[in-house]
Amino acid sequence: MYTASWGDIVRRDLFGPRPDKRDRPYRFVIRMALVVFRLFGFRFDVRGGEHVPTSGGAIVCSNHVSYFDFTFLGLAALPQHRLVRFMAKASVFDHWFAGPFMRAMQHIPVDRKAGAAAFDAAVRSLKDGQVVGVFPEATISSSFTVKDLKAGAARMALDAGVPILPAAVWGGQRIATKGHPVVLKRGVAVTVVVGEPIVPEPGEKAQALLRRTRAAMEELLAEAQRTYPDQPAGDDDRWWLPAHLGGTAPTPEQATALDTGHATGHKGEPETPHPVARLRRRFARRGR
């Protein structure tokens, strides 16, 4: 485990010897994130960063347990001096504060009503040699297990001819996740594990590649959970563990019912708005 140091934050070579000038906004945001990580003493265990290629396109496919997963996953690419272009909801790009940063960092907006445009943009980025980050579950998993995956990431890998890097992130749900208030307490542990590249085979179909990707993600998540250094402080603190590990999170079946608004037998909490959405509402109230 390590905690970001002030030395890490100001390192001139953090992004390599010749960082692209166009990525100055992205580098600034990363340094600011490291400041936050340092102030809150988050403890990181990041493994498998060597699997991120030093050049060329690749797709990072990860599970999704918290609102800040993308900031944690990006840490795995830093040792290779790579920046990850994440696919994110188009509404975030419309936000007055977050939007300009998202565009400057070359993240990719996803409008679910016009998904083809996002798909094409991601494939172009991959062919241009970028690393693209995808949460193929499409939303945070309330059960803290790997949900059914959308096929978009597999199709992108096949179209662009790039490998998939399966990944798992664990611990971020203790800070900010769906259905629970944001808790910025000191010393929370976050584990990130990146697996070996999954290279599409000649003639492989998207569903077959998707099955291989999900199996790898599940294995990496199990590893992250097994080696996670913290345990619940008591029975009231077991909410962040999945049911199969003795936690009180919804089972996958209950989570699916909650997501569709037809929960039976499980009292889910009202969904906590995304932090960006809360800021938007706060400033809207001030403007009245």
Q: Which has the higher per-residue pLDDT, 36 or 271?
A: 36
Residue range 31-43: average pLDDT?
Answer: 97
58 vs 125: CA distance, rounded Å: 10
State if pTM tops 0.85: yes
The pLDDT of residue 278 is above 90: no
Q: How confident is the model at residue 275 (pLDDT cuts 50, 70, 90)?
A: low
Lowest mean pLDDT among 95-99, 139-143, 153-157, 284-288: 284-288
Residue range 79-89: average pLDDT?
Answer: 96
Helices (H), the chain: 6-10, 24-39, 69-77, 90-93, 98-104, 115-127, 152-160, 206-226, 252-260, 275-286
Residue 189, C-beta contacts closer than 8 angstroms, at least 6 positions apart: 1, 42, 43, 44, 45, 171, 228, 229, 230
Please tell me the predicted confidence (pLDDT) of residue 267.
45
What kind of fold does domain 44-286 have according to CATH? Answer: Glycerol-3-phosphate (1)-acyltransferase (3.40.1130)
CA–CA distance from 70 to each of 2, 21, 73, 100, 172 (Å)?
18, 22, 5, 17, 10
Is residue 6 a contact partner of residue 37, using CB atoms and an 8 Å limit? no
Residue 13, C-beta contacts closer than 8 angstroms, at least 6 positions apart: none
Please tell me the predicted confidence (pLDDT) of residue 268.
44
The number of beta carbons lying within 10 Å of the beta carbon of residue 18 is 7
Q: How confident is the model at residue 59 (pLDDT cuts 50, 70, 90)?
A: very high
The pLDDT > 90 percentage for the chain reads 85
* Beta-bridge mates of residue 134: 61
Name the DSSP letter for residue 16. -
Instruction: Spell out a b/e string for 243-270, using b for 16 or more CB atoms within 10 Å of the CB, else e.
Output: beeebebbbbebbbbbbeeebeeeebee
In the chain, what are the domain boundaries?
Answer: 44-286
CA–CA distance from 31 to each of 22, 26, 258 (Å)?
16, 9, 37
Is residue 15 a contact partner of residue 23, using CB atoms and an 8 Å limit? yes
Residue range 78-97: average pLDDT?
Answer: 95
